[in-house]
Amino acid sequence: MDSPVTIAAVQLCSTDDLRGNLATCRRLGEEAGAAGAQVIVLPECFAFLGAKEGDKMAHAEVIDAARPGPIMESLLDLAEHTGAVVIGGGMPETVPGDTRRAYNTAVVVAPGKGMVGRYRKLHLFDVDIPGGATLRESDGTAAGEAALVVAAHGLRMGVSICYDVRFPELYRRLWREGGADVLLVPAAFTAHTGAAHWHLLLRARAVEDQSYVVAAAQWGQHNEKRRSFGHSLVVDPWGTVVAERAEGDGIVIHTLDPELLARTRRNMPCGAHAVTLGAPPPITVVALD
Backbone phi, psi, residue 213, to 5°: -125, 130
Q: CA-CA distance, 162 to 204, in Å (whole number)?
A: 15
Q: Out of 31, 44, 61, 137, which one is annotated catalytic?
A: 44
Dihedral of CA atoms 190, 194, 197, 198 in degrees, nearest 10, equals: 110
Q: CA-CA distance, 282 to 123, in Å (whole number)?
A: 26
Q: CA-CA distance, 33 to 28, in Å (whole number)?
A: 9
Contact 5, 155 (CB under 8 A): yes
Is 44 a known active-site residue? yes
**Residue 146 CB burial class (10 angstroms; 0-12, 13-18, ≥19):** exposed
Is 53 a known active-site residue? no
Q: Out of 45, 56, 162, 244, which one is annotated catalytic?
A: 162
Give Rg (Cα) of the chain.
19
Residue type present at position 265: R
Q: How many CB atoms lie within 10 A of CB 240?
A: 12
Q: Out of 31, 121, 137, 244, which one is annotated catalytic?
A: 121
Is 52 a known active-site residue? no
Helices and strands (H and E) in the chain: how many = 6, 17
For residue 60, how far is the Cα from the chain centroid?
19
Contact 103, 142 (CB under 8 A): yes
Instruction: Give which of 166, 183, 171 is closest to 127, Cα–Cα.
Output: 166
Active centre residues (catalytic): 44, 121, 162
